[in-house]
Structure 1
């Protein structure tokens, strides 16, 4: 009953979102059947938020090697080109690369975005906490993040969101808007890092699956709103 309620609520905000585990199975099938990728030799990397709530979101973790962790707060690939190069060097012989990426956002049965009930907690909490913190700060028009060693990732996340500040604040749902903006940032950086490190990939293909993870409730499946699926021919980069 609660799963059905979540399904209706999620689809209201993300009409194309599907059960995250079903999404995993669907795209593993596409990789194997349509692109002739040997799933037994795929190394997975993730660029999703380091929030613990994202770990059980998909079944990719149960099937593929890895994951190689690229994402920090918000899902930004903070490992940069050094991390992308390391990932490229860890792929099995005659294998393939797969990168799963994107931000996440919580949702409650009542339809509150940016919130969720975490395991064994009675009160709602933020999801993504880093993005909701950034949103609260960006509402102050005079606020500018200051890069420092003590809170480097959060400050860099907020700095990367500055070009989207007006777009986010003018949106009817700011929680969704900041999540959408973060997806654009992650997607851009992932593509830039791959292009910069293309000579390090000794494989034929790199598969990308990007979108937004939608956190629901303890014991229920999350959802995933796919924004990009592509199998990149490394020779064409």
Structure 2
């Protein structure tokens, strides 16, 4: 019953979103059937937020090797070119690579974006916490992040989002807008790192699935709003 209610609420904001488990089945099928990828020899990498709530979001984790973790706060691939190179070197012989990436956002039964009920907590909390913190800081017109060793990832996340600040604050829903902007940043960085590290890959195919993870209540399925699925011949980049 609650899952059906969430389905309506999620799709009011993200019409193309799919149950996360169904997402896994759908795209694993596409990899196998449409692209002839042997999923028993696929190493998965993720560039999603380090938030613990994202671990059970899809069943890719139960099928594929890995994950090799590239993402940090907000889902940005903080592992960088070194991480992409290491991932390339870990792929099984005659296997393939799969990168699952994107930010996440919570939603409540009341339709509030950027909030969710976490396991065994009676009050809502932020999701994504790092993005909602950035959003609250951006509302101060004089605020600018200052990179420092003690909070490097958060400051770098905010610095990356600064060019989007105006459109985030002027959007119909700023929590959704900052999540959308973060997706664009992650997507660009993943493609840039792939291109710069293409010679490190000794496989024919790298599959990418990017989008937005939508967190619902504890114990219920999350959703995924896919924005990009492609299978790349890295040598052609």
> Where on the TM-score scale, by shorter chain, does this alignment land: which range?
over 0.9
1:125 aligned to 2:122?
Answer: no
Give TM-score scaled by structure 1 length.
1.00
Q: Is the 8 A contact 2:195 2:234 kept in 1?
A: no
Q: Which residue does 1:191 correspond to in 2? A: 191
Give TM-score scaled by structure 2 length.
1.00
Q: Which residue does 2:236 correspond to in 1? A: 236
Aligned partners of 1:178, 1:163: CA distance in 2, in Å?
11
Deviations 1:141-192 (A, max 9, x none): 1100000000000000000000000000000100000000000000000000
Q: What is the correspondence of 1:97-136 to structure 2 with a 5 Å cutoff?
A: 97-136=97-136
Size of the alignment, in residue pairs?
Answer: 237
Q: CA deviation at 1:235?
A: 2.3
Q: Which residue does 2:204 correspond to in 1? A: 204
Q: Which residue does 1:149 correspond to in 2? A: 149
Aligned partners of 1:203, 1:3: CA distance in 2, in Å?
40
Aligned partners of 1:150, 1:189: CA distance in 2, in Å?
23
Could you list the runs of 4 or more consecutive aligned residues of structure 1 that deviate by over 2 angstroms after TM superposition?
A: none
Aligned partners of 2:23, 2:193: CA distance in 1, in Å?
25
Aligned partners of 2:5, 2:112: CA distance in 1, in Å?
13
Deviations 1:29-56 (A, max 9, x none): 0000110001000000000000000000
Q: CA deviation at 1:72?
A: 0.1
Q: Which residue does 2:59 correspond to in 1? A: 59
Aligned partners of 2:233, 2:196: CA distance in 1, in Å?
15
Which secondary structure does the structure 2 equivalent of 1:225 belong to? strand
Aligned partners of 1:170, 1:112: CA distance in 2, in Å?
18
Q: What is the correspondence of 1:24-173 to structure 2 with a 5 Å cutoff?
A: 24-173=24-173
Aligned partners of 2:166, 2:235: CA distance in 1, in Å?
39
Which secondary structure does the structure 1 equivalent of 2:149 belong to? coil
Aligned partners of 1:139, 1:161: CA distance in 2, in Å?
13
